[in-house]
Amino acid sequence: DAKTTQPNSMESNEEEPVHLPCNHSTISGTDYIHWYRQLPSQGPEYVIHGLTSNVNNRMASLAIAEDRKSSTLILHRATLRDAAVYYCILRDVKVGAGGTSYGKLTFGQGTILTVHP
Amino acid sequence: DGGITQSPKYLFRKEGQNVTLSCEQNLNHDAMYWYRQDPGQGLRLIYYSQIVNDFQKGDIAEGYSVSREKKESFPLTVTSAQKNPTAFYLCASSIKGTQYFGPGTRLLVL
Q: Look at residue A1 and tell me whether its pLDDT is greater than 70.
A: no
Contact between A54 and A96 (Cβ < 8 Å): no
pLDDT tens per residue, range B5-16: 999 999 998 888
Q: Rounded CA gap, A29 and A32, in Å?
A: 8
Contact between A115 and A14 (Cβ < 8 Å): yes
**Are A87 and B51 within 8 A, CB to CB?**
no
**Are A44 and B90 within 8 A, CB to CB?**
yes
**Are A96 and B50 within 8 A, CB to CB?**
yes
Buried b / exposed e across A44-73, counting CB within 10 Å, b at 16+?
A: bebbbbbeeeebeeeebbbbbeeebebbbb
Q: Rounded CA gap, B76 and B92, in Å?
A: 12
Q: Look at residue A98 and tell me whether its pLDDT is greater than 60.
A: no
DSSP state of B67: -
Partners of B103 on chain A (C-beta within 8 Å) are: 42-43
Q: Look at residue A77 and tell me whether its pLDDT is greater than 90.
A: yes
Closest CA to B64 of B39, B92, B36: B36
Residue of B nearest to A1 (CA): B59
User: How many beta-carbon pairs under 8 angstroms link A with B?
Assistant: 71
Q: Rounded CA gap, A40 and A44, in Å?
A: 9
Q: How confident is the model at residue A101 (pLDDT cuts 50, 70, 90)?
A: low
Q: Look at residue A100 and tell me whether its pLDDT is greater than 90.
A: no
B75 in reach of chain A (CB within 8 A)? no
**Are B104 and A41 within 8 A, CB to CB?**
yes
Sign of the dihedral through C-alpha A24, A18, B37, A45: negative
Partners of A111 on chain B (C-beta within 8 Å) are: none
Contact between A24 and A71 (Cβ < 8 Å): yes
Partner residue opposite B51 with nearest CB, options A49, A91, A97 = A97
pLDDT > 70 in chain A, percent: 89
User: Which amino acid does the sequence have at B109?
Assistant: V
Q: Rounded CA gap, A51 and B60, in Å?
A: 29
Q: Rounded CA gap, B65 and B52, in Å?
A: 15
Q: What 3-state class would DSSP assign to A24?
A: coil
B102 in reach of chain A (CB within 8 A)? yes
> What local confidence, expressed as pLDDT, does residue B47 receive?
96
